[in-house]
Each structure stands twice: as structure tokens, then as C-alpha cells.
A and B are shown apart, each in its own frame.
Chain A
């Protein structure tokens, strides 16, 4: 039997790695009988879902651009790196 503490650890880890078969079964059983952990499970899932959505929204947000200064600086850095790599064998 899992304690709630152990169940909460597995719930968190299930978001980061695939649980083993026996971990999955014992967690599934615990979630059937424990309202608090079932709630915890849903809450972590919604935190993760909001985070993932925010990350992908940020990645697609066309208003968010490299500052012009940084672009100019990078253009120069690229020039000199290209020149240097031509000199290398």
C-alpha cells in the first residue's frame, strides 16, 4: 500500500518519466481510494498544462523579437566566425 506521500511523489514523477508497471498499478489503486491524492493529481496536471501552453504561446509570439542591437551584434559575431572557420583546415 502506498502512503499519500509516496503516491504524491509518483504522481509528480509520472510527469517526468514513465512509471514502471507496478508503480502504475499501485498508484492507480491509491487514486481510486484517495480523494486527496486524486485531487493533487488533477492539480499537478493542470499546472503542467498551463505551463506547456504558456511555453508554446511564448515560442509562437511574433511580437517577441530579438532586440535590434542584439541582432546587429550577432551579425558581426557571425561574420568573424565565418571568416575564422574559413581559415581553419
Chain B
């Protein structure tokens, strides 16, 4: 153990961990829970050997706690259950015709360049995210956690990596279309 106490972890890294969780869970209470469980697990594990910075170590634990919370939530609401693959294949097929060509070709839009444009783009992106089925937006938001270790995380979420890629694809198809409609207008 380093000479940092769990209270130092809370004081020095609590806010950071909270922001990390809040960005991905988009729910203040869930984010608080994730931080608390991370700190408790950190006390129990006693594996901190000072090899990585405490923040990196704690963030590693937090990622698993976020996955845990999402799994618990998805069990409570079957419509958000990630392990139930969406049966609605048609959702994506609407974008392509039978020969696999675009039914509706992507329209050109200008990539957001400066800071102001990026801000506007982000607002629209978040609105679009809210319109996606919740399990798709969840997975899309934790994509970077998933990227770290997709085998382990898929196991925890009881989905196959292939399913996860399919869901991320659907999320992006939906987001892109929604942005096309709303970003073009601005």
C-alpha cells in the first residue's frame, strides 16, 4: 500500500472519478454509486502496489463498476437488456436496398471545425443519442471502456463481441442519420 489513505483517494480523485462515471452513465446518482463502490472495492482489494498512479488504478476499478451497474440496470428493465439482441434487423436494412447499395445516400455535411461549431454539434449529437434505444446509447457511451478489454467486458455483459459491434453499428447509423437531419439544418 502507498501511504495514501482511502480518504486521500476520495479527496484527490473522487471528483475525477465522478466526472468519468457521469459522462458515461449520464445519471448523477448512478455515478455517485459507481464512485462509492470503487473506493470500497479499492479498500478490499489491497492490490495497489504503486505500479501505476493511484488515479489510473482507481479508474480501472471504476470501469468495472460502471459495467456492473449497467448490467444490473439492464436486468431490471428487459427492454434495456444488452444480452437480448435486438431482433429488429429491419432497423438497419432501411438504409440499404436489397443489392446492398445505399437506399438513402449519406448527404454531405460540414465537419464541425471551430469550438463554437463543435459545441453546437455536440448538443445535437446528445439529443440524437437520447432518441436511440437506451441500450444502444449506453453501449456507445462506454465504447472506450469496451475497447480496453472487449473479451472481459462482453463476458460481464453476457454479449458476444460480434453483438456489441452490431449494436455499435446500429447506434452510429441512427446517430449519423439524426445528425444529417438536424446538423444540416443549422
Contacts and interface: CB of A to CB of B under 8 A. Distances in A.
Q: How large is the interface on A (under 10, 10 to 19, 20 to 34, 35 or more residues)?
A: 35 or more
A49 B67 CA distance: 23
A12 B168 contact: yes
B102 to A, nearest CB: 5
Given A59-B23, A66-B32, A81-B40, A16 B15 contact: no
Nearest to A64: B19
Most buried by B among A52, A53, A54: A54
A4 B44 contact: no
Interface of B: 6-7, 10, 14-16, 18-20, 22-24, 28, 32, 35-36, 39-40, 43-44, 95-96, 99-102, 105-106, 108-109, 111-112, 118, 121-122, 125, 140, 143-144, 146-147, 150, 161, 164-165, 168-169, 172-173, 175-176, 179-180
A67 B125 contact: no
A42 B39 CA distance: 40
A26 interface: no
14 contacts: A3-B99, A3-B101, A16-B147, A16-B164, A40-B176, A50-B122, A54-B23, A59-B23, A61-B19, A64-B18, A66-B15, A66-B18, A67-B32, A81-B44
B109 A43 contact: yes
B10 A4 contact: no
Q: 3 closest pairs, A vs B, by CB?
A: A3-B100, A5-B100, A58-B23
A78 B10 contact: yes
Contacts of A77: 36, 39-40
A4 B14 contact: no
Most buried by A among B36, B108, B140, B172: B172
Interface in A22-71: 36, 39-40, 42-44, 46-47, 50-55, 58-62, 64-67, 70-71
A50 to B, nearest CB: 6
Nearest to A42: B111
Contacts of B169: 8-9, 12-13
A64 B43 CA distance: 25
A59 B108 CA distance: 31
A44 B102 CA distance: 16
A41 to B, nearest CB: 9
Contact of B165 (A12, A62, A78, A82): A12
Given A54-B122, A82-B43, A59 B6 contact: no
Given A3-B100, A47-B172, A81-B44, A74 B14 contact: yes
Contact of B112 (A44, A50, A55): A50
